[in-house]
Amino acid sequence: MIITGATIITGVFGYPVRHSLSPVFQNAAFQYRHLNWVYVPFEISPEYLKDAVRAIKIFSVKGINVTIPHKKEVIKYLDVLDEEVKLLGVANTIVNEDGCLKGYSTDGEGFLRSLKEDGGFTPENKLVFLFGSGGSSFAIAGALVRAGISGLIICNRTIEKAAVLKNHLKDCFSFQNIEVIPFEKRNNAGIWKNIDLVVNTTSVGMKDDDVVLVDEKNLNDNMFIYDIVYNRETPLILSAKKKGVRCLDGLSMLVFQGAVSFTLWTKIEAPIEVMKKSLIAYKKTMQKGNQN
C-alpha cells in the first residue's frame, strides 16, 4: 500500500480500539479493489468524541466506523440519521457526503446477509430463540422481524431489558408473536421443541467460567445456531459442531457488517471472500507470534 497525497481516509473510533479487527479486512478490501483508500484506528476517549466527529469534516475523512463505547453518544453530533439509526438509537457507520455526516447502522443487514450467504439459512417463517437484550440484539431482532420470522422467544439475564426489547419490536414493527422467558428457565425442554434458529447476542461463552447457555440435549439437527462471539469457539458452537448442528460464529457477521460500511463509503461491492481470508491469515500470524 502506498499513501499518496490523494489517499482517502477512513477508520474506526473506539475506546479502546487496539483489539479492532476492522483495519485488517477493510485495508485488504481497498487493496483488492485497487482503491487509493486507507482504514486506520482512532482511539477516542469519550470526552473528545464531539471534537473527533468535527474533525471528520475538517480532515475530509470519508468514512468512520463507530464502536464501543461511542455508538449511542455519536448520533448527537451527526447531521442526518438513517431510519434504522432513528429506530435503534445507535450508529456504527458515518459517511461524509461533502461535509454532511450521515449515520447508519450496518449490524442488522450484516447479520442477515451473513445468515443467508454464509449460513444458507432463510429466516422467513422461522421460530427464533434469541439470547440477550443489549445493543446488538436490538439490531439483530429488528432485522429478523423484518425478514419475516414467525415468532421470537427472548431470553436475557435481566428480564426487564428483554421486556423493553419486546415492546420496541411491537411498537416499531407491530410484531406480536414474542415471548419473554426468564434466564433460569432457558433450558426447560418444552421451549426447545420447535425452535429453528438460536442466536446468541450476549458475551456468554467468551470466558472459560461462563454459564452454559444451552444444554446439549436441547440442540437438534433441524436447528441453526448463530453465536455473535468471534474471539473464540464458544461452548455453544462446540456443542453444535459435536452434534452436527449447522452453525456460524461472529466472524462472519463482523465481516458482513464491515462489508455494508465499505459499500456505503465506496459505492462498490465489498470483496467478502478477500476480507474473510485476510482475517484468517491475520489470526494465523498472531497465533504463530504467540507461540514464538
Residues that bind ligand ATR (CB under 6 A): 132-137, 156-158, 161, 201-204, 210-211
Query: Of the listed 50, 57, 62, 71, which one is catalytic?
Result: 71
At residue 280, the 3 state secondary structure works out as helix
Q: How many residues make up the chain in this entry? A: 292
- Across the beta sheet with 37-43, what order do the strands follow? 37-43, 8-14, 63-66, 93-97, 100-104, 80-81
**Smallest gap, in angstroms, from Cβ of residue 159 to ligand ATR?**
8
Shorter beta-carbon distance to ligand ATR: residue 211 or 280: 211
In angstroms, give the least distance from the CB of 133 to ligand ATR: 5
Q: How far apart are CA 41 and CA 283, in angstroms?
A: 18
Select the residue whose beta carbon is closest to ligand ATR and give its number: 134
Distance in angstroms (rounded) separating the CA atoms of residues 277 and 148? 32
Catalytic annotation present for 276: no
Distance CA 204, CA 48 (A): 31
CA dist 161 and 248 (Å) reads 26
Q: With left for phi above 0 and alpha for psi between -120 and 50, is residue 236 left, alpha or beta?
A: alpha
Minimum Å distance from CB 92 to ligand ATR?
Answer: 10
* Cell numbers describing residue 150: 414467525
Nearer to ligand ATR, 55 or 191 (CB): 191
- Least Å distance, CB 211 to ligand ATR, is 6
Instruction: Tell how strand 63-66 and strand 93-97 pair up.
Output: antiparallel
Complex with ligand ATR: residue 36 or 203, whichever CB lies closer: 203
CA distance linking residue 123 with residue 127, whole number of Å: 8
Rounded to whole angstroms, how far apart are CA atoms 52 and 42? Answer: 9
Is 21 or 38 the residue whose CB approaches ligand ATR more closely? 21
Q: Which is nearer to ligand ATR, 43 or 210 (CB)?
A: 210
- Residue 237 beta carbon to ligand ATR: minimum distance, rounded to whole angstroms: 16
Q: Give the cell for residue 69.
A: 463505547
Characterize the bridge pairing of strands 100-104 and 93-97. antiparallel
Q: Which residues are annotated as catalytic?
A: 71
